[in-house]
Homo-oligomer: A and B are copies of this chain.
Amino acid sequence: MEFDAKTPIYYQIEQYINREIIIGHLRPGAQVPAVRQLAITLTVNVNTIQRALANLIQAGILVPERGKGNFVTTDQKVLGKMKQSMIEGEFKALYDHLAALELSPEEMTAAFAQYVQTQQGGEAHE
Contact = CB atoms under 8 A, between A and B. Distances in A.
User: Which of A95, A101, A116 has the most chain B CB atoms closer than 10 A to its own CB?
Assistant: A116
A95 B114 CA distance: 12
Interface residues of A, number: 32
A41 B115 CA distance: 35
A101 to B, nearest CB: 6
Contacts of A6: 7-8, 11
A93 interface: yes
A98 B90 contact: yes
How many chain copies?
Answer: 2
Name A's interface SS. Answer: helix
A90 B100 CA distance: 12
Nearest to A102: B23
Given A91-B94, A109-B109, A19 B116 contact: no
A108 interface: yes
Interface of A: 6-8, 11, 19, 22-23, 86-88, 90-95, 97-98, 100-102, 105, 108-109, 111-113, 115-117, 119-120
